[in-house]
Amino acid sequence: MDIRHLRSFVTVAENLHFSRSAEQLGVSAPTLTAQIQEVESSLKARLFNRTKRSVALTPAGEAFLREARATLEQFEKAISVGQRAGRGQVGRVEIGYVGSAAFFGVLQDQVQRFRNQWPDVMVNTREFPTEQLTALLEDGRIDVAFVRMPVELPDAISSRILARDRFCLALPADHFLAKTVNDILPSALASELFVLPEQGLGLREVARRGRFAPQIGSVPGSLVAVLTQVALGMGIAVIPSVLIQTVQLPNIVFKEIAGPPIFSEVGALFRRHEKLPIVCNLISQILESEDLNHPH
């Protein structure tokens, strides 16, 4: 017995008419009769009481009809889920991110837009250290990563810049430079102790412009942890200016860096030759996004 036999039985049970059911199924009446007989033979039970004038379900037929309908419904659901999964409409996407992608709103924007477009897809998000994300992508443990650029990329990984701001300084409120009204020259920071974020691009460029080797006091990890260290007077930090609007901590002053802006970018990383349709849908959305510029 296969799904074809179940469909034939349910059609006859609903119509209680063999000729009409055969026409509906697109088979001959003898073929349909043979299929019903095969079902009854498999079950070793009579399903229909049939006379020249009427067709009626037996008690066994009524019981089997309930289960056959449920089986057909589950079968159709399985077919639908498989087809939708093939189109990337259902399933699960694993996203890794660094905190600054969330501060910038890039993570929220992309996830919300994707959920709106594909409401039956489960989207899991988790924060990771920057240095882990490319390996997680290559290993297939995550599908897309949102990071602060630049990140060294293997050949199998592509990127897309989604947002841009500039670096600024975070200083303890009682620091003597916090009281100046002017932008702070990089050379004025030569003797300072720095709290280093995961992404060290900003500090490297400040040190290059100021012609000094930076003294690193601590590398606490997340940007919130960096600002907490600054607020505790453990040093100063070169941080993305988006934090001025998104993180408010006592005992911190933000100051601009003199000279041309040092830009900071947030981007998405993904596998260059992605095969999963559901992930391809998210990548397509990312690639269609325009770069976001946020001058502050």
Q: What is the pTM of this model?
A: 0.66
Percentage with pLDDT > 70 across the chain: 94
Cα→Cα distances 99→125, 132, 167, 201, Å: 12, 14, 16, 16
pLDDT tens-digit readout, 23-49: 888 889 899 889 889 988 988 889 998
pLDDT tens-digit readout, 230-274: 999 999 999 999 888 888 889 999 999 999 999 989 999 999 999
Cα 85 to Cα 278: distance, rounded to the nearest angstrom: 7
pLDDT at 200 over 90: no
pLDDT at 295 over 60: no
Q: Which two tokens stand for residue 162?
A: 């989604």
Mean pLDDT of 283-289: 91
Nearest to 283, CA basis, from 142, 72, 83: 142
Element spanning 239, H or E? strand 237-240
Mean pLDDT of 58-86: 80
Mean pLDDT of 64-87: 77
Up-side HSE of residue 114: CA atoms within 13 Å toward CB? Answer: 32
Confidence label for 282 from pLDDT (cuts 50, 70 and 90): very high
pLDDT at 83 over 70: no
64 near 9, Cβ under 8 Å? Answer: yes
- Tell me, what's the pLDDT at 80? 64
Question: Interior CA angle at 193 toward 191 and 198, to 5°?
Answer: 130
- Tell me, what's the pLDDT at 243? 86
Q: Where are any strands of DSSP class E within 67-203?
A: 91-97, 121-127, 144-149, 157-172, 193-197
- Tell me, what's the pLDDT at 86? 65
pLDDT tens-digit readout, 151-190: 889 999 999 999 998 999 999 999 999 988 899 999 999 9
Confidence label for 287 from pLDDT (cuts 50, 70 and 90): very high
> Residue 292 phi/psi, 5° resolution?
-105, 125
User: Which of 100-133 are b and which e, b meaning 16 or more Cβ less than 10 Å from the residue's Cβ?
Assistant: bbbbbbbbeebbeebeeebeebebebeebebeeb
Mean pLDDT of 137-164: 91
Range of weakest confidence among 74-78, 230-234, 291-295 = 291-295
Nearest to 118, CA basis, from 271, 285, 269, 288: 285
Mean of the per-residue pLDDT values for the chain?
88
Confidence label for 296 from pLDDT (cuts 50, 70 and 90): very low
Cα 48 to Cα 60: distance, rounded to the nearest angstrom: 9
Q: Is 131 helix (H, G, I), strand (E, B) or coil?
A: helix
